[in-house]
Amino acid sequence: MTALPLDAAGEISPDPSPRPGRRLPEALRRPGALLATGWLLFVVVASLTAPLWRPYGVAEQDLASRLALPSADHWLGTDPLGRDLLSRIFTAGTEPLLSSAVTVLVAFGIGLPLALIAAERGPRVERVISRVTEVFLALPSTILLLAVIGVIGVRTFIIMAILGVLISAAVYRVMLGVAQSVRTRLYVDAARVNGLGSLRVNVVHVLPSMATVIAVQAAQLYGIGLLIVAGLAFLGFGPAEPDPSWGFMIQDASSYVFTAPWLMVPTGLVLALTVIAANELADALAGKASGETAPVRRTRRPAARTAPVETAAADPAAVLEVADLTVAVDDGPELVTGVSFALQPGRVLGLVGESGCGKTMTARSLLGLLPDGVSVTGGSIRFAGRDLVGLSERELVALRGREIAMISQEPMVALDPMFSVAYQLTGPIRRFRGVGRREARTIAAQLLRQVGIVDGERVLKSYPHQLSGGMAQRVAIALALTGEPRVLVADEPTTALDVTVQAEILTLLRALVRDTDLSVVIVSHDLGVVADLCDDVAVMYAGTVVESGTAAAVLDEPAHPYAQALLAANPHVPDGVPVPVRLASIPGTVPPPGSWPTGCRFATRCQFAQDQCRSPFPVLPAHATGSVLCVRAEELAREHLSWAAEPVGAPPEAAGSPPEPAGATSVPTAGALR
């Protein structure tokens, strides 16, 4: 295997930013948060251990010093029966402190898993769970709790557990938004691509990213729980006298507020400080969490699958064959229609086109990784004798990483910032290859060498934020190779990198295809990349393939005016050829899904459009192995007409009004782009 050079941008960045997983302790460094944590710890420990240190029993009366102010004998004074306030307050603390924790545990124990399931399973499941939780939210919880007390009596822990069940609906709603947002992050996709099952994706990647929000919500809920327990006791639904409770002690003190105002102070202060501390902690954590989460994603109902209009003949040699693929927004417009192409073993196929043409949707369909609310509604994706369309998530998990892997545009976000490179590589290696920890590490080092990283040991110990973009993309490629896949889907793998690093990553991909049996589908808007790397090309426009064939055929003799225009607009110029005075341009923009014109979707922007282009027409064969979606292709070829740059000085054409046909002009060839 060829060892490739390190990227020019350097491997280790000098300014490592903090990892999200390490933010909690940092949030606690704020003075307010420190005091709050200290107070909470103090109250909890003092309350739980009160029977061991309290100076008096809770029912022990000192009738000589009733309603006493603080003194050496009674540090916080005494109540109307001469009972020691210090002993009673901290003995009373155990119940609210523990029962509020029960509320938090129950609320999160129910709400959080439901949110994770809803976020993972998509709109249908989410809708069912959301409707059920809405019922819980609509219940009058105070009345319900009082009714429960009427039935079972004052059993604070059970009551607070029931409160937890009621509040779990609210927890679910907050957590659902966060979980959906976290699941959109590319490293979660990457983990799924690497074959991680749903439980492990949630436990290893989604939950840690939600930790801060969970902590904020839990701290806030804890404070609310304390107030509710105290409130119930204040109303008489607390421990029976002489057992102390904060609520009853405050209620008792309120009777003496004019004659012995001090009586209210110690209990009120302890309760208030404890609630304030819980909220201060929540605030400190929230301060850290702000900006970490993205807004809740829209979800829609999946549409019924429609039968493919026409299925291309199967290509037995192809490792992956896509036929008449249609991808649509559920209950919305089609994003991709009638896409067909075949990926041959050991070859690189480029999906090329302007932004918004449906390249990414097509590529993600191959792994069953479409965004929520978007699904394959027609056609087939045949791989190893099976149609991947309609496979269950379980079957797709078995396939991802092992058979088909993916690398994406943003290597940094494809790697989980919380784990070292070694951890992220050895996990999938052990799972895919069934090896032990030590062997997995050896394989990880080999994979890093294979992707051109020479100081693998150092990189293995690094975290993603310590890697440069090029280095991170190499690691992401190594990660994709952990399952020894047969097909690699690369979505704009060089777009986020600077030019020198781009070239190195392309060299790496070329070497991998040459040295292994890998077949690659690469998504790119860059014709230079396509000419450099691809054996076959499918040019996409407005959700469909307008021209396909070998890279040499499509790039040297583009037949579709859109393919010609893309090439003519490409700024790459081969050595020795004069730089053109003016590059061709394509007027207007790609029409969005749902507003594609009838007939040729490119007609509104095409120099050669005629009436016949605006009515439906069949796919026509072109080149030896491909197709072209243009009724005028043959005629244009015969007359040697191809896309022309506008004459210098000509006013730019408005979108939607096609310019007049121009005369023959030459376009850069594939050779020119290489």
Give the interface with ligand ATP as residue ranges (CB under 6 A). 329, 335, 353, 355-361, 371, 373-374, 525, 592-593
Q: Which is nearer to ligand ATP, 193 or 284 (CB)?
A: 193
Q: Which is nearer to ligand ATP, 358 or 456 (CB)?
A: 358
Partner residues linked to 83 by β-bridges: 61
Are the C-beta atoms of residues 270 and 246 closer than 8 Å to each other? yes
Q: Which is nearer to ligand ATP, 244 or 593 (CB)?
A: 593
For tokens 């990213």, the residue is: 209
HSE, side-chain direction, 13 A CA sphere, residue 93: 30
Least Cβ distance, residue 609 to ligand ATP (angstroms) = 22
Least Cβ distance, residue 416 to ligand ATP (angstroms) = 22
- Local structure of residue 579 (DSSP, 8 states): P
Alpha-carbon gap, residue 466 to 534, rounded angstroms: 32
Alpha-carbon gap, residue 530 to 510, rounded angstroms: 12
Least Cβ distance, residue 328 to ligand ATP (angstroms) = 9
Are the C-beta atoms of residues 185 and 209 closer than 8 Å to each other? yes
Omega into 242 within 30° of 0, i.e. cis? yes
Return the structure tokens found at 619: 């796919």
Q: How long a stretch of residues is the chain?
A: 674
Least Cβ distance, residue 644 to ligand ATP (angstroms) = 25
Least Cβ distance, residue 344 to ligand ATP (angstroms) = 23
Nearest to 472 by CA among 22, 20, 6: 6
Three-state SS at 561: helix
Q: Which is nearer to ligand ATP, 99 or 544 (CB)?
A: 544
Q: Which is nearer to ligand ATP, 219 or 336 (CB)?
A: 336
Least Cβ distance, residue 637 to ligand ATP (angstroms) = 27
Return the structure tokens found at 492: 């704009």
Alpha helix locations (H) across 490-646?
Answer: 499-515, 527-533, 551-556, 561-568, 633-638
CA dihedral 306, 312, 318, 321 (to 10 degrees): -20
Q: Which is nearer to ligand ATP, 353 or 668 (CB)?
A: 353
Q: Cα–Cα distances in Å, from 382 out to 324, 346, 379, 387?
A: 11, 17, 10, 4
Q: Which is nearer to ligand ATP, 95 or 547 (CB)?
A: 547
Alpha-carbon gap, residue 59 to 639, rounded angstroms: 107
Amino acid letter, residue 157: F
φ, ψ of residue 351 to 5 degrees: the values are -100, 115
Q: Which is nearer to ligand ATP, 274 or 299 (CB)?
A: 299
Nearest to 149 by CA among 229, 252, 42, 265: 229
For tokens 């021209």, the residue is: 547
Least Cβ distance, residue 587 to ligand ATP (angstroms) = 19
Least Cβ distance, residue 126 to ligand ATP (angstroms) = 15
Q: Which is nearer to ligand ATP, 96 or 411 (CB)?
A: 411
Alpha-carbon gap, residue 372 to 656, rounded angstroms: 32
Partner residues linked to 198 by β-bridges: none
Alpha-carbon gap, residue 384 to 369, rounded angstroms: 19
Alpha-carbon gap, residue 464 to 422, rounded angstroms: 11
The H helix count followed by the E strand count for the chain is 25, 12
Alpha-carbon gap, residue 306 to 49, rounded angstroms: 67
Least Cβ distance, residue 570 to ligand ATP (angstroms) = 16
Q: Which is nearer to ligand ATP, 360 or 426 (CB)?
A: 360
Least Cβ distance, residue 356 to ligand ATP (angstroms) = 4
Nearest to 468 by CA among 4, 5, 8, 11: 11
Least Cβ distance, residue 36 to ligand ATP (angstroms) = 41
Least Cβ distance, residue 448 to ligand ATP (angstroms) = 29
Alpha-carbon gap, residue 622 to 273, rounded angstroms: 78
Neighbouring C-beta atoms of residue 483, cutoff 10 Å: 22
Least Cβ distance, residue 626 to ligand ATP (angstroms) = 19
Least Cβ distance, residue 329 to ligand ATP (angstroms) = 5
Helix (H) or strand (E) holding 406: strand 404-407
Q: Cα–Cα distances in Å, from 605 out to 38, 247, 499?
A: 68, 75, 31
Residues sharing a CB contact under 8 Å with residue 17, sequence separation 6 or more, in sequence order: 465
DSSP string for 372-398: TTEEEEEEEEEETTEE-TT--HHHHHH
Return the structure tokens found at 62: 């000192």
Q: Which is nearer to ligand ATP, 223 or 373 (CB)?
A: 373
Least Cβ distance, residue 357 to ligand ATP (angstroms) = 4
CA dihedral 456, 458, 462, 467 (to 10 degrees): -70
Least Cβ distance, residue 534 to ligand ATP (angstroms) = 16
Q: Which is nearer to ligand ATP, 123 or 356 (CB)?
A: 356
Return the structure tokens found at 105: 């545990």
Q: Which is nearer to ligand ATP, 99 or 299 (CB)?
A: 299
Nearest to 244 by CA among 50, 420, 396: 50
HSE, side-chain direction, 13 A CA sphere, residue 528: 12
Q: Which is nearer to ligand ATP, 312 or 374 (CB)?
A: 374
Q: Which is nearer to ligand ATP, 374 or 497 (CB)?
A: 374
Q: Which is nearer to ligand ATP, 208 or 353 (CB)?
A: 353
Least Cβ distance, residue 45 to ligand ATP (angstroms) = 50
Q: Which is nearer to ligand ATP, 120 or 252 (CB)?
A: 120
